[in-house]
Amino acid sequence: MNSDPSSGPVGTPRRTAGHSRLEPPTETPIHVVDDDQVIVDGLTHFLRQRGFLVHGFTEPTQALSVIREGPPHLLIVDRNMPGMGGFDLARSALEEDPDIGVIILTGAREVELAIDAFRLGVSDYLLKPLDFGEIERTVRRVLIRRSQEIFHRDTESRMRRAVENRTLELERKNKLLEGVTVGALTALVDILEQKNPHFQGHSQGVAVLSEKIATEMGLPTIEVRACKTAGFLHDIGMIAVPDKLVEKTSPLTRDESAQIQQHCRIGKELLDPFTHLGPVPDYVFHHHERIDGSGYPDGLAGMDIPMGAQVVAVADSFRALVEPRPYRTAHSPTEAIEILVGAAGIWHSDEILSALARLRPSASA
């Protein structure tokens, strides 16, 4: 173990309840674990310079013993270490305290790594060789998200008690839970938007437009809410798609297209455990289906495609057209509607496109 007693006692400071304010570095313990002493020393020195309470370890088992005595706010751990690997240490640490933020150090960005990491509860990962600017941004991002998640959980707990004390009807309770869940899932959407400028603001834009289209069509209130939620979360599976594919300006290969198409399945798998989201996971799964059966993942056609998925698909297509992409400039809203209406009956249904045309949405709404 490489630790410095002068950095302060190992442990978790008292949390401030009632808000998601980020605690100062001097009250934020961080553990760095890597079998490479040079990396441990470099990260420890860098983070201590920024005021954090940092303890470095080259032995994962020693780190785990210290974690059991008092969990840190953040664990930075190498993925591949002899004996106990990074994922094993992260799993054991999160069993001690699920609030620990975890950053995995790895030599390669892989789809399987991203999926396994987020299923385990890992907050983020950093590629070697390490870039100190990226380290600082990632540490801050993870600590902010940790604070937000604690706040959301405490909020959920308070809302649960309020619901039970006031004996509210089941529909009201589910609505409150859905709001908390979406708030927690926003952290993943934030990661997606931070990693890829292409996605910034896109999810919120699709959510707002999906809600407007569903309302214009006269769909029931519960369906309008589901469309809005699915619109916000429709691309959450893209968190596992390599950035280089999203940013590629040349045509994708068949294998690259298949990788991107997996985001529908990954998104559904991430959302399925939240049963109170109702049809939202299915809408996310099918939002790339096309009315003529040419879409994916299942090649559904016509009314076999859930109506909510069709609404999100139109909103997503419109927003994609009015936003710039690495391979083209943005279309105007008028041009976007003309493109979509020109493909009516092929990509999307006349009914939903008519609702979109009546709304005359702008590029920012």
pLDDT of residue 16 exceeding 50 = no
What mean pLDDT is predicted for residues 93-116?
Answer: 79
% pLDDT > 70, the chain: 82
In the chain, domain spans: 5-145, 168-359
Distances (CA, A) of 284 to 58, 167, 294: 42, 32, 17
Q: Which pairing describes strands 124-127 and 74-78: parallel, antiparallel, or unpaired? A: unpaired
Average pLDDT, the chain: 84
What mean pLDDT is predicted for residues 306-334?
Answer: 92
Name every residue whose Cβ is closer than 8 Å to that of residue 84 and which is 6 or more positions away in sequence.
60, 61, 64, 92
| Backbone φ, ψ for residue 123 (5° rounding) | -80, -35
Question: 46 or 80, which is more confident?
Answer: 46
What mean pLDDT is predicted for residues 181-208?
Answer: 76
What mean pLDDT is predicted for residues 54-64?
Answer: 95
Q: How far apart are CA 219 and CA 21, in angstroms?
A: 39
Whether 168-359 and 5-145 are alike in CATH topology: the answer is no
Lowest-pLDDT choice from 99-113, 140-154, 295-309: 99-113
Please give the CATH architecture assigned to the domain spanning 5-145.
3-Layer(aba) Sandwich (3.40)
Lowest-pLDDT choice from 37-46, 207-216, 270-279: 270-279
**pLDDT tens digits for range 107-145:** 766 556 666 666 677 878 788 888 899 999 999 989 988
**pLDDT tens digits for range 158-179:** 877 766 666 555 555 555 555 5
- Which homologous superfamily is 168-359 in? Hypothetical protein af1432 (1.10.3210.10)
What mean pLDDT is predicted for residues 232-249?
Answer: 84
Burial of 106 (0-12, 13-18, 19+ CB in 10 A): middle
Three-state secondary-structure class, residue 100: coil
**pLDDT tens digits for range 21-32:** 567 888 889 999
pTM, rounded to two decimals: 0.52
Banded model confidence at residue 229, pLDDT cuts 50, 70, 90: very high
